[in-house]
Structure 1
Amino acid sequence: MTAMLAYFAYFKGWILSDFENISPQEAYVLLQKPSNILLVDVRSQKEFDKDHIENALHFRMDKLQEIELGTKKILLYSERGERSVEASRILAKKGFKVLNLEGGVVFWIRAGYEVKHN
Structure 2
Amino acid sequence: MKTAEQMVAEARARIEEWDVARLRATPDAVVVDIRDVRERAKGHIPGSIHAPRGMLEFWWDPQSPYHREVFAGDGPFVLHCAMGWRSALAAATLKEMGFEVAHLDGGMEAWIEAGGPVETPAPKG
TM-score by length of 1: 0.80
- For residue 59 of structure 1, report the CA deviation from its aligned partner: 0.8
Question: Helix, strand or coil: the match of 1:107?
Answer: helix
Q: Which runs of 5+ in 2 are unaligned?
A: 61-70
Do structure 1's residue 27 and structure 2's residue 23 form an aligned pair?
Answer: yes
- For residue 50 of structure 1, report the CA deviation from its aligned partner: 1.2
Within-5 A mapping of 1:1-118: 8=5, 11-12=8-9, 13-15=11-13, 17=14, 19-30=15-26, 32=27, 35=28, 37-68=29-60, 69-72=71-74, 73-118=76-121
| Count of residue pairs brought into register by the alignment | 107
Distance 1:96 1:58, change over 3 A: same
Question: Which structure is higher in strand share?
Answer: 1
Question: Helix, strand or coil: the match of 1:116?
Answer: coil
**Matched-pair contact (CA < 8 Å) for 1:74–1:96:** no
Q: Percent identity?
A: 25
- For residue 14 of structure 1, report the CA deviation from its aligned partner: 3.7
Q: Deviation above 4 Å: which 4+ runs of structure 1?
A: 7-10
Instruction: Supply the distance in 2 between the matched residues of 1:81 and 1:102 (Cα, whole angstroms).
Output: 5
User: What value does the CA root-mean-square deviation take over the aligned residues?
Assistant: 1.9
Residue identity matched to 2:57: Q
- For residue 41 of structure 1, report the CA deviation from its aligned partner: 0.2
- For residue 9 of structure 1, report the CA deviation from its aligned partner: 6.3
